Amino acid sequence: MPRTRPPTPTLPAADFLVIGSGVAGLRAAIGLNRAGRVLVLTKGSPAEGSSIYAQGGVAVAPEEDDIALHRDDTVRAGKGLCRPEAVQVLVEEGPARVQELIRWGARFDRAGDGYALAREAAHSRHRILRAGGDATGTEMVRVLLERARSLPQIAWRDHHFTIDLLLDPHGRCVGALVLDESSGAVKQVRAKAVVLATGGAGQIYARTTNPPVATGDGIAMAYRAGALVEDMEFVQFHPTALYLPATPQLLLTEAMRGEGAVLRNIKGEVFMKRYHEMAEMAPRDIVSRAIWNEMVATSARHVYLDVTHLDPGFIRSRFPTIYATCLRYDVDITEEMVPVCPSAHFMMGGVWTDTRGATSVPGLFAAGEVACAGVHGANRLASNSLLEGLVFGARAAEAAAEYAGHLRPERGASFERDLAVGEAEDGRGDHLDMEKLLNSLRRLMWEQVGIIRSGQRLLSALTQLEKWEERLRDPCRTRRELEVRNMVTVGRLVTTAALQREHSLGAHFRSDHPEEFGSGWERHIHLQANASARAPVGGAGVTE
């Protein structure tokens, strides 16, 4: 007999749904406020998202002549696979979006009469704006959240997990299926347009800097709805995450290397000069593989990040969060080297969008890490992600409002209704052990689809992922089950795309094809659940 659920509050009527409340989602909600009623849905709470963990800063060209250099640095880091029009939008509109944030009360670090600007890997100039030394994401989310919560047209529902997107008979996105995590009730919520801003999928890997909520839900649900996903093989591994047994994988921002930190192997030897002329300031993919090679060569599980030669007072003031956190784990970074290891950090690929955030599904828009607007190419330039969230969150809002404005009035009505779904029976012995499957998935992705890949290992991983996906076709009833289903789907997409890109490029490295810029390197890998759906104009569509 199904158990009786307690009554659950109704969701506010909305013209627009924004799924996610990081930088991109908040900026989209703020932009949509003028166009109608906005409902922001967040699984868990806003404090659990990836944006608040962003340490390094936000890249913004402070001078007119630096805009072109910022564009060139972005394209160079992306190995030429960036879409030029998207990069141009990012660097041209970025300064205005950051100034807007400052007008709303953002407190970025200052130096004398101006702002303190740092330099990070692959940047040709000092252009990284930071807050609180190493707490830029936290400050940006604070300002955006305060601004958004002050606007009367925006309603909020935390602890609401979006299960799937709703499509009408014409294939247009008209809302979402939502799980109330508190009551277990499932709601069908309609809206004129939906903006996905659900973040990344780092949790598919055994080692990641991402918080537990980064399970790829937006990519998976958009894919199931028939949206095109692009370049899923490009997963960025941050070179330096804290490596200590039984401790969180704290990211140690590459701004530390920008301020003079050096990498040493387990023997204490500096090594980056052997891999790249820029040494510690080389692009992230090169630094991550160099560290991995040193770990293999020395049979070690980590290398060291060394700032002990720098002034202790400077380190404590410049990186207060990192200093205090490491100290909690009995590591004083001013006196001893820090053990670090690469960890999965950022998805360059995602749901394909144009430069206005529109996906291949009418009525569905996306911004931030869940999206692939084309600004990152094969390897993201450091500190471009927060900027991307601001710029394309605002653009997605403009495009969604414009789309909704052309709809017939009868399609604008929002409603919700309870859905009858089966309850999990006690003692479901035939059902998968989700935690066991999750651990197996994360190990598989780390070992077979990680920093260094090969065709043989990718094929082996894909076979296992397809088996898991088949076993997960039964209805999922809890948030955890739904997350694991999404993670398996995203893992399969990453693996499939990695197999199709047979040569190495940027963050995608094939040990069986280490050469870069092989035949067809410039194509984008497109995957789509519904092969009959129309690919974007100019797309080199590869469909399943």
Q: pLDDT tens digits, residue range 528-542?
A: 997 444 333 333 344
Active site residue 284: yes
Tell me what pLDDT residue 54 has: 63
> pTM score, two decimals?
0.90
Tell me what pLDDT residue 199 has: 95
What band does 6 get if pLDDT is binned at 50, 70 and 90?
A: low
Q: Which domains does the chain have, with CATH numbers?
A: 16-234+348-418 (3.50.50.60), 240-342 (3.90.700.10), 434-527 (1.20.58.100)
Tell me what pLDDT residue 414 has: 46
65 CB-contact burial (10 Å; exposed 0-12 / middle 13-18 / buried 19+) = exposed
Mean pLDDT of 128-154: 91
List of residues 6+ apart from 23 with CB closer than 8 A: 51, 137, 140, 141, 144, 368, 386, 389, 390, 393
What band does 266 get if pLDDT is binned at 50, 70 and 90?
A: very high
- Of 37, 190, 257, 284, the catalytic one is 284
Contact status, residue 351 vs residue 371, Cβ threshold 8 Å: yes
Tell me what pLDDT residue 250 has: 85
The token pair that represents 534 in the structure block:
């129309």
Residues 121, 509: Cα–Cα separation, whole Å? 19
In which region does residue 496 sit, left (phi positive, over 0), alpha (psi from -120 to 50) or beta (all else)?
A: alpha
For residue 352, report the phi and psi dihedrals to the nearest 5 degrees: -60, 135
For residue 491, report the phi and psi dihedrals to the nearest 5 degrees: -60, -40
List of residues 6+ apart from 306 with CB closer than 8 A: 261, 262, 263, 264, 337, 338
Residues 341, 238: Cα–Cα separation, whole Å? 9
The token pair that represents 61 in the structure block:
């060209």
